[in-house]
Amino acid sequence: MTQATAIAIRDLTKTYKDLKALDNINLDLEPNRIYGLLGRNGAGKTTLMSILTGQNFQDHGTVQVFGHEPFENDATLARICFIRESQKYPDDFKVHQAFAAASLFFENWDQHLAQELMKEFDLPAKRKIKKLSRGQLSAVGVIIGLASRAEITFFDEPYLGLDAVARQIFYDRLVADFAEHPRTIVLSSHLIDEVANLLEHVIVIDKGQIVIDADAEELRGAAVTVTGDAAKVQEFVGTAKVLHRDALGALASVTIESQLDAGRREQAKLMGLDLSPVSLQQFVVRSSLSSASERVDEKSEAWS
Amino acid sequence: MIDDSKPIFIQIAELIENDIVSGVLAEEAQVPSTNEFAAFYRINPATAAKGINRLVEDGLLYKKRGIGMFVTEGAPQRLREQRREKFQQQFITPLTAEASKLGIGINELVAMIKTSSDT
C-alpha cells in the first residue's frame, strides 16, 4: 500500500504560557519533494519541526509521519533526520566518529558520499568537534543531513555558519543527490532567495499560523511591482490586491498580487509604467507584513 | 539566465525553444537530461522536468525510451512561425511606445531601422 502523504498535520496547536506558538496548523507534505519552510524568527518553524521529529509534543491536534505519531516512536524516528544549527555532539568526538555514529543510526547512510563531502567542505576527519570553527561545525551537520539519505530530512537553518561558497556547495550537492535519490526534504531558511529555485513547494508560517502553502512555481510571477507616475499606477492597479506601496514625489511603486497576461503587460508599457518581477523573498516578506496588518484590523473590529 | 519574472519551468522551456530556433539544438539532436538541467541551472529537478514535459506535450521534443529526449523534426520551423505571430506584441509595441516617449517620429524610426539592417 503506498503512502499518500509523508506528513499529515491536523489542527495542531502548541501553547507556551499565553503564547500560541502553533495555532491550528493544517498541512500535508507529499513524499519526495523539496519543501521550503519559511518565516520570521519566532514564527513557529522550529517548534513545528521539533514536534514532527518527536522532540516535543503538541497540546492539541494530530501529527502523522508515514502514518504514525512520531513522539517516542523509534521506528518512525529512524526514518527521519533533523539537522539544526545548535547541533550537539559528544564532547570528545572527532569528526569521523560523529559520522560513524550517524551511520549506525541511519540505515541508508552513504559513507562514500560523506567522505566526498568532507573533502569538498575541507573538513579535517581527525579533528575534535569541539575544536572546529563555526563553519566547520555547520558543515558536519550538513554532511550528516545529506549522507543520511533519510526518507525525511529536515534542515533547520544549519547553513547559517557556512560561508557563501560552502552554502553553494551544499545547494548544488543537495539538488544533485535529491535527483539521484529522491526523498522528502524540508529546508528552513532565512536566506530565501538563495534557496528559492531549489524549492518545489513553499510553506510560510507567521505568528504560529500558515500564511502561504503553495507550489513554488505558482508563487513565481504571482506578484509584480508597478512603477511610474502615481496617478497612472493607481489607474493600472485598480482593485488588485496591494502587498506594498512606496512613494517618491510624483513617483509610486506598488506591489500587487496579480498575474498579468500579455495584454495587461502591453497596457502598462503603453501607459509608460515599468513592471518589475517580485522575488520569492520579497513576496514572503510582503505577505507576512500584509497578513499582520490584516490581523491588526481584525482585532480593532473585535473591540468596536 | 533564470529570473523571478515567471515560473521557472516556463523559462526552461523557453531556453530550450531558443536553442531550437537558433539551431544550437538541431532537429533530432539529443537534449540534456532533466537532472543535467537541474544541476546546470541550480533548480529543482521536478521543475526542470515540468519544463521539458511541456515541450514534449507541444510536440517539440519526443522521448526515446531508455535513451533520452530529442528535438522533433520540423520543430525549428514551427517555433519560427509561432514567434512571427508574437513579434508584433513583443518587439514592435515596446519599440513604438519608447520612440513615442522620445519624440521619434515614424519616418525617423523607419530610417533608424534601415540603418540598423544595413550594418
Q: Is the dihedral of CA A75, A76, A82, A88 positive or negative?
A: negative
Q: Which of A84-93, A222-231, A256-265 has the lowest mean pLDDT?
A: A84-93
Contact A33, A199 (CB under 8 A): no
Interface test with B, best of A169, A184, A217 (most B CBs within 10 A): A217
* B11 in reach of chain A (CB within 8 A): no
| The pLDDT of residue B36 | 94
Please list every residue in chain B whose beta carbon sits closer than 8 Å to the beta carbon of residue A34. 44
Q: pLDDT tens digits, residue range A26-77?
A: 999 999 999 999 988 888 999 999 999 999 999 999 999 999 999 999 999 9
Span A294-299, average pLDDT = 48
Average pLDDT over chain B, rounded to an integer: 92
Report the distance separating Cα A244 and Cα A50, nearest Å. 33
Question: Cβ contact (<8 Å) for B42 and A198?
Answer: yes
Determine whether A41 is exposed, middle or buried from the number of CB atoms within 10 Å of its CB (0-12, 13-18, 19+). Answer: exposed
Contact A140, A123 (CB under 8 A): yes
Residue A295 has pLDDT above 80, yes or no: no
* CATH class, B8-73 region: mainly alpha
Can you tell me which residue has the cell 547512510?
A109
Distances A267 to A187, A276, B102 between C-alpha atoms, Å: 39, 14, 18
| The pLDDT of residue A3 | 53
Report the distance separating Cα A174 and Cα A194, nearest Å. 13
| The pLDDT of residue A296 | 47
Sheet holding A80-84, edge to edge: A80-84, A152-156, A184-188, A34-39, A201-206, A209-215
Report the distance separating Cα A47 and Cα A175, nearest Å. 26
The whole-angstrom distance between A55's CA and the closest CA on chain B is: 30
**Helix (H), strand (E) at residue A284:** helix A280-303
Distances A117 to A112, A114, A131, A173, A180 between C-alpha atoms, Å: 9, 5, 19, 9, 16
Q: pLDDT tens digits, residue range A105-142?
A: 999 999 999 999 999 999 999 999 999 999 999 999 99
| The pLDDT of residue A303 | 39
Question: Cβ contact (<8 Å) for B2 and A197?
Answer: yes
Q: What is the ipTM of this complex?
A: 0.82
Report the distance separating Cα A248 and Cα A65, nearest Å. 50
Question: Cβ contact (<8 Å) for A262 and B2?
Answer: no
